[in-house]
Structure 1
Amino acid sequence: MSCAHKSFGPVSYDNLNNNKAIIFNRSFSKAIYKTDLNIYGHNITGITMIKKTNDSFRFVLISELGIKYFDFEIFEDKGIRPIIHYAIDQMDNKLLIKKIINDIALIFILQKGKSRVKKTGETEIIVFGNTYYDYTSEYGVSEIAKSNLMGKINCLIKINYGENKIPESIIIDHDKVNIKLSLIPNG
């Protein structure tokens, strides 16, 4: 066995860490979040609805007045391409939509395959390829970092949990595209 980085343990050829890299637990069905989306200096606020189906998550962002900005379906199996059900004309830019979907997908896709692990106290950093999950047994994943080919982190996601281990807040920071989700209780 070998490892890509000296500070990480050997590559694991089993699926022991796959279930740790999950943000929304198996009992999750739906949640509503107040949303602040900042795209290249333009701010959009609204409400995001996340709903779990059998094998996918629907991620729908609407304004407070009910105007739909976008509606994506992201599958847990990353081999299945996400479906863009709708994107408002002003945001229907392939590169922008791809960036948003790829960032959002990090919180929904189940990781499979080889992983490396580094333990520091109560925290484990679980690595699948160029995606890093900061995991504790008490809360689950608190941070996800995705790096580019040069090793520079280009997307950072921070997660805070509330009751029932449902994320209370999710902050996605990717250069000039930032998304902040704040759970609306009993939404």
Structure 2
Amino acid sequence: MRYLLLSSCLIILAGCSSVYKNLQPATGNINYIQKFKPDFKNTLYKAEIDVVGHHLSGLLLIKTLPDSSIRMVFSNEIGFKFFDFEFRLNGGFKVLYVIKQMGKKPVIKTLKKDFELILLLERDTQNAYLRKDDNSMYYIFPKEKGSFCYITDLNGTEMKAMEISSPHKPIVLAIMKNYTSDIPDTIGITHTNFNFIIGLKKIER
């Protein structure tokens, strides 16, 4: 599964412009991108993660709690937890549990950003802006170093890709495909500068 997702991400990356300043100016509502925000009430995925030289497979549960915070719990099939993260409504993030191999600050920071990207938790729209080319619309949210970018077709009917970029190039590419009831069936996250891959396939329950 992870190799299929990696191939899909690289194909999309080849077609995405990362030099946003060279795109055409566009007008529209920056908050329109929120229509693609997944509605993870209580969703279970088969997960495969390659990180820091380790390949981990198991189940990833994404659950929205009554206070609208989101829990992500990754464990193997017999219930041994790899990590348990909480994303809070006010933008807070808490590590409730993580195994030693994944407990390094750079790894946790990377996972946090990756999941914030696919959860569409971007809240700062003050400096956000729109760009376009002949095929796509780009919803760009500047960060201290780089930006988050969500790429749709020109009509805004399909999410084509999501990027985390440095000032010069994409460093993370993500896809979410085959939405059913506002939940994507397939999610893939690929890093371009080192071996860090996340592949998720929804389990029907």
Q: TM-score normalised by the shorter chain: which range applies?
A: 0.7 to 0.9
| Unpaired stretches in structure 1, ≥5 consecutive residues | none
TM superposition score normalised by structure 2: 0.75
Q: Aligned-pair RMSD on alpha carbons?
A: 2.3
Partner of 2:92: 81
Shift of 1:62: 0.4
Q: 1:110 to 1:75 in 2, by over 3 A?
A: farther
Q: How does 1:22-37 map to 2 (within 5 A)?
A: 23-25=36-38, 27-37=39-49
Single out whichever of 16-25 and 94-103 deviates more from structure 2: 16-25
Partner of 2:151: 134
CA distance in 2, matches of 1:154, 1:92: 21
Partner of 1:181: 200
Partner of 2:62: 50
Q: 1:17 to 1:56 in 2, by over 3 A?
A: same
| Unpaired stretches in structure 2, ≥5 consecutive residues | 1-19
Residue 116 of structure 2 contacts residue 122 of structure 2 at CA under 8 Å; is this kept in 1?
no
CA distance in 2, matches of 1:19, 1:93: 36
Partner of 1:125: 138
Shift of 1:95: 1.4
CA distance in 1, matches of 2:188, 2:34: 17
Following TM superposition, the consecutive aligned residue runs of length 4 or more in structure 1 with deviations greater than 3 angstroms are: 21-25, 119-123
Q: Deviations over 1:93-144 (max 9, x none)?
A: 11111111111111221343133223456742111111110124333x3311
Three-state SS of the structure 1 residue aligned to 2:79 is coil
Partner of 2:169: 152
TM superposition score normalised by structure 1: 0.82
More helix by share: 2
CA distance in 2, matches of 1:90, 1:6: 41
